[in-house]
Amino acid sequence: MTSRVRGALSAALIALACLLVPSGALAAWAAYGLTDTGRYVTAMAPLAADPAVRDGVADAVAGEVGEPVRPFVRSLTRTPAFGTAWDEGNRAVHQAVLRALREGGHHEVTVDIAPIAARVEHRAVLPRTEVAVLPASALDRLRKGYDVLEVAGFWLPVTAAVLAAAGIAVAACRRRAVTATALGTALGGALLGLAVAVGRRLTLTDLPDPVRRPAAGAVYDALTGTLRTVSWLLVAVGLAVALTCWLTGRYGLPRGRRGSAGPVPDPAQQPTRARA
């Protein structure tokens, strides 16, 4: 295999690997981050102190259960016990949605909030305790995406790593291949961060009720916090590796090249030319 063919094949493999970096990170985050109940509850826990989220919870519960409970829910959200109710509610909703995704069926996903309210305020009397959290039509679409993510969340990152390793292995100049891979990884991390920002803007713009946008923005930021950290990490690691390759290539002379020129000839042993 000639150097030109090796270079072209290496460039194609590395480019494909770098293109898979943002999509692989996104799929892995959705498949393993969002589906972990403990991580989900931990990410959402700080939002119990957000005023926009508190008002949104009161509005949502009043819309589902009935307006008579609005004063009770509003007063509850301003007590220290709301943190417990918030964590338990998020845990119950997350487990209910996951159970519906994995077990199948075409029914509406509901959560009984009576046990949650009873743990916080025993005197609460709710007219209806079953709260709908996901309609059947949305559940069908979500289940299809969930099945795809279970596969893509594992195989996309693995494929990206294998392609990058193959591209570096077949390259005629491996230092340049590593540098290109590192820069492509950094670019993929930057694109991932840009996608998160654009997704936030589109999500909030599509909300029909502008009043709920602050609460939705807080939830979006809490859920995508890990994804933003991953994007910055990819950028930092990629640039660091690329800079290291450049510095070693510019200032570090490989050991093999130091002896390639052969020994320096001794002037005393050089033959002298006869003078004319």
Which tokens hold the place of 49? 């102190």
Residue 68 located in a structural domain:
yes
Residue 271 located in a structural domain:
no
DSSP string, 237-254: HHHHHHHHHHHHHHHPPP
Query: Which sign does the torsion angle of CA 74, 78, 82, 86 carry?
Result: positive
What domain count does the chain have? 1
* 223-237 CB burial, b ≥16 within 10 A, e <16: bbeebeebbeebbee
Residue 59 located in a structural domain:
yes
Residue 62 located in a structural domain:
yes
| pLDDT for position 84 | 84
pLDDT band at 258 (very low <50, low <70, confident <90, very high): very low
| pLDDT for position 125 | 54
Residue 39 located in a structural domain:
yes
Residue 236 located in a structural domain:
yes
| pLDDT for position 259 | 47
| Cα(38)–Cα(226) distance, integer angstroms | 14
Residue 162 located in a structural domain:
yes
The average pLDDT across 245-250 equals 85
* Structural domain range at position 35: 3-251
Residue 35 located in a structural domain:
yes
